[in-house]
Amino acid sequence: MRISVEEVFETVRMTIEQNFDIRTVTLGVNLKDCMDRNLSAFNKRIFKRLSEMGKRLNKCADQLEQKYGIPITNRRISVTPVALLIEPLPRKISTAVSVAKTLDRAAKAADIDFIGGFGALVHKGMTSADELLMDSIPQAISQTERLCGFLNLASSTAGMNMTAIEKVGHILKALAAKSKNGIGCAKIAVFANVPEDNPFMAGAHHGIGEPDFSLNIGISGPGVVRDVVANNPKCDLTMLSEIIKRTVFKITRAGELIGREIAELMDVEFGIVDISLASTPKKGDSVAQIIEAMGISRMGRPGSTAALALLMDAVKKGGSMASGNVGGLSGTFIPVSEDAGMIRAVRTGALNLEKLEALTSVCSVGLDMFAVAGDTPADVLSAIIADELAIGVANNKTTSVRVIPVPGKKAGQIVHFGGLLGSAPIMKVSKIASPNFINRKGRIPAQIRALRN
């Protein structure tokens, strides 16, 4: 379907008045052909490739931003999962940390906001390189600025790797202790059914089924959707779904046009448009406020799950009608710290961790950017992760967790992260969960598919 320039100019009012933007252009880069048994040679190859391609990405993104007047907020790179790349290298934590620092230096040299892919696919088992990378995460993330990591701990075909999930609780505790306010934990996301083409951080990586380079777009328009919902207070829910769908159709078309033009300028393949609604701390840029504009008195109160399900369905339908290249997460982010409406809901008692988990059953992305007390035990963190990933495995969907144990903070206090990460109220979590269950380790088998009802 041909995309006209006129369609893009329909978004000018959205850009000026409703915070519409291209949230990210993310260049996926294959690094498998850079592999080497010599660490220095490997680091030189990846630095050269990433710094050169990052500079090209920035230059082309600037050209399109000026051409259409639509802000491109973040420029990012994702790479082949690093656990695969370090297979031939010496089995030392210092090896993985050295690679992490090289990735970070390359991003800085190219003025790239974040670089993702420092992670591993361990949904069924762990190689020695996988375990090495996991053990290096506290040092690697705390000693870099722009590096993000991911771990795929479960899938609907393999089940849940509980040995890895148990390990992650301890990794997060160690990482939190090494970074101010535990902020390092915001740069690591754990998944069930991780997508290979996700342009959003912290979970972005360039999957093994991808080409040498691919240009992926993450659009975002919660402010746009909130305004159209608020401007239609009397229509029934069927019509409201149609209105949201048409709005997402327009912003998806604009995003695809810009993504295709950047890919053409860079002479790389165009990948996908991720149609996820992504909140920021900006006024009005809130998914929770969309739900409240539908008529829910406060996000988290009865009716919130049904309203979020309606929103998710309309977003997906509008996006899929607009583009044949919808991919990535393509859902609705409901982070606590990055969404003013979510923060207000937690502080007023309308939203707790249990309700947040229930919301993720109809919403991809999962438990995102929520803070807990720093003395929360590692097994409790692992249990929270296991519960959320089980939702993804059982429902054949992507779910993820970004939990931040904040040293020195207690439930009810506020931690300020700054910038796009916002502020987070410390959510109440039981200090005793299921240590005997978590410490069994092993693997929870995949769900049976033949008998579903």
User: Is the predicted pLDDT of residue 226 greater than 70, yes or no?
Assistant: yes
User: Is the predicted pLDDT of residue 451 greater than 70, yes or no?
Assistant: no
Q: Which amino acid is at 56?
A: R
User: Is the predicted pLDDT of residue 9 greater than 80, yes or no?
Assistant: no
Q: pLDDT (tens digit, 9 = 90+) per residue, 305-345?
A: 999 999 999 999 998 988 889 888 888 888 888 888 999 99
SS3 320: helix
User: Is the predicted pLDDT of residue 253 greater than 90, yes or no?
Assistant: no
> Which one is predicted more confidently, 203 or 450?
203
DSSP letter at 421 equals G
Q: Hey, what domains does the chain have and what are their CATH numbers?
A: 1-331 (3.20.70.20)
Q: pLDDT (tens digit, 9 = 90+) per residue, 111-130?
A: 999 999 999 999 999 999 99
pLDDT at residue 452, as a whole number: 62
pLDDT at residue 251, as a whole number: 83
> Is the Cβ–Cβ distance between 185 and 403 less than 8 Å?
yes
> Is the Cβ–Cβ distance between 97 and 40 less than 8 Å?
no
pLDDT at residue 352, as a whole number: 93
User: CA-CA distance, 123 to 160, in Å (whole number)?
Assistant: 6
pLDDT confidence of 93, banded at 50, 70, 90? Answer: very high
> How many residues make up the chain in this entry?
453
User: CA-CA distance, 137 to 150, in Å (whole number)?
Assistant: 10
User: CA-CA distance, 298 to 292, in Å (whole number)?
Assistant: 6
pLDDT at residue 15, as a whole number: 52
Q: What is the pTM of this model?
A: 0.92
pLDDT confidence of 16, banded at 50, 70, 90? Answer: very low
User: CA-CA distance, 447 to 79, in Å (whole number)?
Assistant: 31
pLDDT at residue 359, as a whole number: 94
Q: pLDDT (tens digit, 9 = 90+) per residue, 44-55?
A: 999 999 999 999
Average model confidence (pLDDT) across the chain: 90
User: CA-CA distance, 241 to 226, in Å (whole number)?
Assistant: 13
User: CA-CA distance, 184 to 175, in Å (whole number)?
Assistant: 6
SS3 47: helix
User: Is the predicted pLDDT of residue 1 greater than 60, yes or no?
Assistant: no
> Is the Cβ–Cβ distance between 272 and 327 less than 8 Å?
yes
Helix (H) or strand (E) holding 269: strand 269-274
Least confident range from 52-56, 69-73, 133-137: namely 69-73
